[in-house]
């Protein structure tokens, strides 16, 4: 079954540029579900169409978060990733159908919001014990801070202390790693609780039963999509 295969395949490396999306029946209810590892322009365009279809047909959306975020760089930006990304955020933020989010792996940066993070007031958000959620990965944030310190020292004409910087980088990586763990995240009430991955299907069934207690109506408009 599509959902079962998708859940099993989520153990694949996060750097694999793939995504899976589709419509299926779960517990006799039609739902749209989607999971992705990275956002690139062509996927954003397809997801925008699929989101719009789900919203127009009053269909709940299940987000399986395992996302490192939006790919950056000259080629991606000139290809329109910012434009398509903003359109995707527009569709997600203006959606009125129920959103159910399961954080299965990584949930970093803007990718969290593009896949209906907690800030979008989704109906339910659960997290797997192995998941991580943060602004960015430990090495990335420690590296950025190191570049800032190095740049500041250069502008002041001071000698950069490599040994001290290495200690700071190591400490920042440790703090960021511990803070991004599922147990730490759920302790801050950033989700509705940690669930056993084996119970995911059952939990989703309960959630869908709850959201069906109220009539589901998709958004009639999204504002302006700048194409």
Q: What is the pLDDT of residues 129-161, one digit of tens each?
A: 999 888 888 888 898 899 999 999 999 898 888
In a domain, 47, yes or no: yes
Are 169 and 188 within one domain?
A: no
Q: What are the pLDDT digits (tens) for 8-49? A: 443 333 333 445 555 555 554 555 555 554 444 455 666 777
pTM (2 d.p.): 0.74
Are 92 and 125 within one domain?
A: yes
Are 103 and 91 within one domain?
A: yes
Residue 195 near residue 64, CB atoms below 8 Å: no
Are 75 and 161 within one domain?
A: no
Are 60 and 167 within one domain?
A: no
Asked if the model's pLDDT at residue 2 lies above 50, the reply is no
Are 111 and 174 within one domain?
A: no
- Better pLDDT: 213 or 5: 213
Tell me the CATH number at 99: 3.90.226.10
Are 9 and 55 within one domain?
A: yes
Which residues lie below 8 Å from residue 18, measured CB to CB, with a gap of 6+?
A: 12, 36, 37
Domain that holds residue 165: 138-179
Asked if the model's pLDDT at residue 56 lies above 90, the reply is no
> By mean pLDDT, which of 5-19, 91-105, 159-173 is the weakest?
5-19
Are 160 and 190 within one domain?
A: no
What's the chain's average pLDDT?
A: 77
In a domain, 219, yes or no: no
- Environment class of residue 189 by beta-carbon count within 10 Å: exposed (0-12), middle (13-18) or buried (19+)? exposed
> By mean pLDDT, which of 65-74, 152-161, 183-192 is the weakest?
65-74
Are 82 and 154 within one domain?
A: no
Are 154 and 67 within one domain?
A: no
Number of H helices, E strands in the chain: 9, 6
Across residues 63-68, what is the average pLDDT?
A: 82
Which residues lie below 8 Å from residue 84, measured CB to CB, with a gap of 6+?
A: 41, 44, 45, 48
Total structural domains within the chain: 2
Question: Whole-angstrom Cα distance, residue 114 to residue 120?
Answer: 10
Asked if the model's pLDDT at residue 202 lies above 60, the reply is yes
- What number of other Cβ atoms are within 10 A of residue 5's Cβ? 9
Element (H, E) at 83: helix 81-93
Are 202 and 191 within one domain?
A: yes
In a domain, 218, yes or no: no
% of the chain residues with pLDDT over 70: 73
In a domain, 220, yes or no: no
- Better pLDDT: 25 or 191: 191
Closest CA to 20 of 30, 9, 34, 40: 34
In a domain, 67, yes or no: yes
Asked if the model's pLDDT at residue 69 lies above 80, the reply is no
Are 79 and 151 within one domain?
A: no
């Amino acid at each position: 079954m599509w959902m079962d295969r998708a859940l099993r395949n989520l153990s694949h490396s996060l750097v694999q540029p793939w995504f899976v999306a589709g419509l299926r029946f779960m517990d006799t209810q039609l739902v749209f579900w989607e999971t992705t590892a990275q956002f690139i322009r062509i996927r954003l365009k397809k997801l925008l169409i699929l989101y719009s279809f789900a919203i127009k047909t009053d269909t709940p959306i299940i987000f399986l978060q395992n996302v490192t975020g939006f790919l950056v760089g000259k080629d991606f930006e000139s290809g329109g990733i910012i434009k398509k990304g903003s359109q995707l955020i527009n569709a997600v933020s203006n959606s009125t159908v129920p959103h159910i989010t399961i954080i299965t792996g990584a949930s970093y940066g803007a990718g969290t919001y593009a896949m209906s993070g907690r800030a979008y007031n989704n109906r339910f958000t659960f997290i797997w014990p192995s998941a991580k959620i943060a602004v960015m990965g430990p090495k990335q944030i420690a590296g950025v801070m190191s570049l800032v310190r190095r740049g500041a020292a250069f502008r002041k004409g001071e000698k950069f202390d490599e040994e001290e910087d290495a200690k700071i980088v190591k400490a920042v990586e440790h703090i960021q790693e511990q803070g991004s763990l599922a147990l730490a995240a759920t302790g801050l009430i950033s989700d509705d609780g940690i669930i056993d991955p084996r119970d995911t299907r059952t939990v989703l069934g309960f959630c869908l039963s709850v959201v069906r207690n109220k009539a589901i109506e998709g958004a009639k408009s999204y504002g302006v999509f700048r194409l």
